[in-house]
Amino acid sequence: MTRSRQMTSADLREAFLAFFESKGHARVPSGSLIPRHDPTLFFTNAGMVPFKAVFLGEESRPYTRAASCQKCVRAGGKHNDLENVGRTLRHHTFFEMLGNFSFGDYFKREAIAFAWEFLTRVVNLPAERLWVTIYEKDDEAERLWRELTPIPPGRIVRFGEKDNFWSMGETGPCGPCSEIHYDQGPGVPGDAVPNGEGDRIMEIWNLVFMQFNRDEKGSLAPLPKPSIDTGMGLERLASVVQGVHGNYESDIFRPFLAAIEERAGVGYGTDPAKDVSLRVIADHVRATAFLLSEGLLPANEGRGFVLRRILRRAARHGRLLGIEGPFLGGLMSVVVDEMGSVYPELVEGHRHAARVAELEEERFAHALDTGLR
């Protein structure tokens, strides 16, 4: 067994940050899930959000290279994965995004070289399973991939703006991107090409070549200095490195699924419909714990309404599994046990989060029972 197959998610998180530290990057702690100075976003949905003002030239930092593992939620606004969660093996409301950033320091050449080195030499993914997509007009990116890596031309594929031109939202920093995909093999259903049907070819890392700022009219203006913004979901990387089919079979989700299985008396992998519910709850309990740790409360509008939807969707799927009474509050301790050492705010707000989750479940149950009478 190769070293990469033995790496846990905690190993991968640290390996990524340590690798980029060795390349002169500052290790920057995760920012808040709630972008308090950006009214265009409900939640921090990508690793670059805390650096948006830096990319726009409105703020300076004491470093020009950074690496982080950013807490993210995609459950509202442009990047909204809520309804896909549980129905696929790769969508999440809460996830951790690994990212390396250059603020006018290095550009495409170094970003491509760093990514290839990390994937093939640090976590030992087989090079022959990697594919690359580029923006259809980005000749420079194709030239660099062919110059800097052994990837054959047949595994470098061009796509249009929909797939390979990235923007954080309707406005803000944006640019062409190059995505790295991993072939999980013929045993996984799906097309044997990037951006096809199914999960066989899985996108794992997006390298954004940040060159423009998009205004309210949709016009693109050059950024003060071309920069780099990359993002790679830890959950997806863990599933690929650990050789499992789907994020929920990685070491990240196993403790959550085990706790829910015990509570519901249902085994994961025995019934497709029940598997959806198990995945929904495993995902949503993490999102709930992290959003509550930020001081957010369930509400009837805004961010609090999204939290309420997440909580109630998890509760509804608990009922589908036959779980009686509030149970999400009890699962908060699993989040603390698994992630509290990395995110101490979870430990500090543990009791509060459990109580809020329990109260919301009770309100939801009352509303359902009243409606059924």
Is 60 exceeded by the pLDDT of residue 1?
no
Q: Helix 302-320 crosses helix 350-372 at what angle (to 10 degrees)?
A: 70
CATH topology of domain 3-245: BirA Bifunctional Protein; domain 2 (3.30.930)
Identify residue 22 by its one-letter amino acid code: S
**Cα→Cα distances 283→235, 248, 257, Å:** 11, 9, 9
* pLDDT for the residue numbered 110: 99
Residue closest to 75 by CA, chosen among 356, 343, 350, 290: 290
Residue closest to 281 by CA, chosen among 301, 267, 260, 300: 260
% of the chain exceeding 90 in pLDDT: 82
Q: Give mean pLDDT, residues 212-222.
A: 91
Return the minimum-mean-pLDDT range out of 163-167, 234-238, 306-310: 163-167
Is 80 exceeded by the pLDDT of residue 119?
yes
Mind listing the pLDDT tens digit for each residue in 151-192? 999 999 999 999 999 886 788 888 999 999 999 999 898 999
* pLDDT for the residue numbered 166: 87
Residue closest to 35 by CA, chosen among 82, 73, 81, 85: 73
Q: Give mean pLDDT, residues 128-145.
A: 98
Cα 246 from Cα 233, distance rounded (Å) = 13
As annotated, the residues of the chain forming the CATH 3.30.930.10 domain(s) are 3-245
% of the chain exceeding 70 in pLDDT: 96
Is 90 exceeded by the pLDDT of residue 254?
yes
* pLDDT for the residue numbered 78: 59
Q: Give mean pLDDT, residues 119-143.
A: 97
Chain position carrying tokens 């990469």: 4
pTM score, whole prediction: 0.93
Instruction: Calculate Rg over the CA atoms of the chain.
Output: 21
Residue closest to 248 by CA, chosen among 237, 258, 257, 259: 257
* pLDDT for the residue numbered 372: 54
Q: In this structure, are residues 180 and 131 in contact, taking their beta carbons and an 8 Å threshold?
A: yes
Mind listing the pLDDT tens digit for each residue in 332-369? 999 999 999 999 999 998 999 999 999 999 999 888 77
What tokens does 153 get? 């031309």
What tokens does 331 get? 């699962």
* pLDDT for the residue numbered 253: 98
**Cα→Cα distances 276→240, 318, 358, Å:** 21, 11, 22
Q: In this structure, are residues 261 and 270 in contact, taking their beta carbons and an 8 Å threshold?
A: no
Is 70 exceeded by the pLDDT of residue 47?
yes
Return the minimum-mean-pLDDT range out of 23-27, 87-91, 326-330: 87-91
Q: To the nearest whole number, what is the mean pLDDT of the chain? A: 93
Strand partners, 359: none
Q: Give mean pLDDT, residues 278-295.
A: 97
DSSP letters, 107-142, are -HHHHHHHHHHIIIIIS---GGGEEEEEETT-HHHH
Q: Choose between 182 and 225: higher pLDDT.
A: 182
Cα 55 from Cα 41, distance rounded (Å) = 16
**Are β-strands 156-159 and 220-233 bridged in parallel, bridged antiparallel, or unpaired?**
unpaired
* pLDDT for the residue numbered 2: 41
Give the confidence band of 55 by pLDDT, cuts at 50, 70, 90: confident
